[in-house]
């Protein structure tokens, strides 16, 4: 097993920009050689940019354990009490985003820490001004997240 086995085409990774972290963030691998050496060039892209980087600048993003089964049980109980869940973000708010159940997203918390990728499990209409309406497969599955804190991958 090589030290860069986590770098594969299509994989979502974190780029540690050597330019003082100027463009640090979550990127998707667009192109990587089959055999990756320390001096290999990896093409990565995000929603608005792309970069050619060295493999040592990339790190995996781990999502950990799945809570999908627990969420589905929790959701069924809420639906029995009359709560309504939806399959698309556009069903709960006006948006150009095509996010739907089953999509993969990366979550950025208020401190700028990045987690994921996570599976989108459901949507709800936001009940307050927080804008929280997206349920994702993480350890706080009962707490919905704001769409602007999620990056669709």
Domain of 135? 68-152
Beta strands across the sheet bearing 104-108:
134-136, 114-123, 104-108, 150-152
Q: In terms of domains, do 38 and 21 share one? A: yes
pLDDT for the residue numbered 1: 62
pLDDT along the chain (153 residues), means of 10: 86 88 86 94 88 93 84 97 96 92 89 83 88 93 93 82
Q: In terms of domains, do 53 and 77 share one? A: no
pLDDT for the residue numbered 67: 94
CA 120 – CA 145 distance, rounded (Å): 10
Quote the number of domains for the chain: 2
pLDDT for the residue numbered 7: 94
CA 56-52-2 angle, to 5 degrees, is: 35
Q: In terms of domains, do 75 and 143 share one? A: yes
4 falls within a domain:
no
């Amino acid at each position: 097993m090589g030290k860069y086995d986590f770098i594969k085409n299509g994989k979502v990774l974190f780029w540690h920009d050597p330019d003082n972290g100027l463009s640090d963030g979550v990127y998707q691998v667009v192109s990587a050689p089959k055999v990756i050496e320390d001096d290999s060039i990896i093409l990565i892209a995000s929603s608005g940019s792309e970069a050619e980087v060295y493999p040592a600048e990339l790190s995996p993003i781990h999502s950990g354990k799945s809570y999908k089964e627990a969420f589905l049980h929790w959701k069924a109980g809420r639906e029995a009490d009359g709560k309504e869940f939806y399959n698309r973000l556009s069903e709960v708010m006006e948006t150009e985003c095509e996010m739907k159940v089953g999509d993969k997203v990366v979550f950025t918390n208020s401190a700028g820490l990045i987690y994921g990728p996570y599976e989108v499990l459901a949507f709800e209409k936001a009940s307050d001004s927080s804008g929280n309406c997206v349920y994702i497969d993480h350890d706080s599955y009962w707490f919905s997240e704001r769409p602007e804190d999620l990056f669709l991958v």
